[in-house]
Amino acid sequence: MPAPARPLPRQTLLVGLGGAIGTAIRLLLTTWLPPVHGVPVSVFLINITGAFLLGALLETLTRTGPEAGIRRTVRLFVGTGIIGGYTTYSTLAVGVAEVFTPGSSGMPPHTGSARFSSEPLRPSSASSLPAQPFRPVVCSERLADPRNRDRRRAGSSLRFLLDIAVRGRLGSHFPWGTSVINLTGSFALGIVTGLGTTVLPAVWVIVIGTGLIGGYTTFSTASVETVRLALEHRYRAATAHGLVNLVACVLAALLGLWIGVR
């Protein structure tokens, strides 16, 4: 996805505000559509619809003229911000990694698929507090707090700035920025999810995982970039980019989970 060489505060703010909206929509959808037999169906649906919407948006903007003025504003706010925050690669990677993690049934409610339950949480070994029921409204209240809205904005803004920085250093011939973002985000979310089994309260696992890290990583951009590489007949680059975001991110999430539960 094209981006200016030097981001302006207004552009970063647009991405951050859009990311906060997209992340909030993702949280609501994952709350309303819980996992089916342990499978985070909502995460798959969110990522599929988000990738479709981003592809349609970028194609529409490209056909209407050069990226400038209102078209750049729409791309940053809706594409990079809302849709980028709406989809998440780290949650998908951690969800797959949990399948291969022994004792994954003891994980806390999933940071992206929002496995909310009326059952009380088991107290962690680091706390003697009695178990408390974990309700969606509690998480929603935490995310509605201004400080947590800042975290949602921060995740998308950090993604925007880091992508520009990486491309400025390595060039835009290959989407290195998105690969670095999804790898580091999957690793970080793995650690947070693992810590949720011992010392980190479940609500904060949701806030940090869904709010900050979920908005930082993006499935839609990675998917569109892979398709664009293929359409340019750069099949090796498309395959490499797809494998990095599929295999490497899951491995990074596995490593993060292993570190987090230690």
pLDDT digits (tens, 9 = 90+) for 65-100: 888 889 999 999 999 999 999 998 888 888 888 777
Residues 1-22, mean pLDDT to the nearest whole number: 75
Q: How confident is the model at residue 187 (pLDDT cuts 50, 70, 90)?
A: very high
What lies within 8 Å, CB to CB, of 225 at 6+ separation is 1, 175, 178, 241
pLDDT of residue 152: 59
pLDDT > 70? residue 4: no
Residue ranges of the domains in the chain?
A: 9-114+123-261
- Higher-pLDDT residue of 118, 253: 253
- pLDDT tens by residue, 13-39: 889 999 989 988 988 888 888 877 777
**Residue 259: band (very low, low, confident or very high) from pLDDT cuts 50, 70, 90:** very high
Rounded to an integer, the average pLDDT of 97-114 is: 54
Model confidence pLDDT, tens digit, residues 110-154: 444 443 333 333 444 433 334 333 333 334 444 445 445 555 567
Q: What is the pLDDT of residue 103?
A: 55
Report the share of the chain in percent with pLDDT over 70: 76
Q: What is the 3-state secondary structure (H, E, C) of 4-71?
A: CCCCCHHHHHHHHHHHHHHHHHHHHHHHHCCCECCECHHHHHHHHHHHHHHHHHHHHHHHHCCCCCHH
pLDDT of residue 55: 94
Most confident region among 51-55, 156-160, 194-198, 245-249 by mean pLDDT: 51-55
Q: Residue 38 in contact with residue 101, Cβ under 8 Å?
A: no
How much is the mean pLDDT over the chain? 78
Q: What are the residue ranges of helices labelled H in the chain? A: 9-32, 41-64, 70-74, 84-86, 89-99, 136-144, 146-170, 176-195, 202-206, 214-216, 219-231, 235-243, 249-261
Tell me the pLDDT tens digit for each residue of 47-64. Answer: 999 999 999 999 999 998
Please state the pTM of the whole predicted model.
0.75
What pLDDT is attached to residue 139? 44
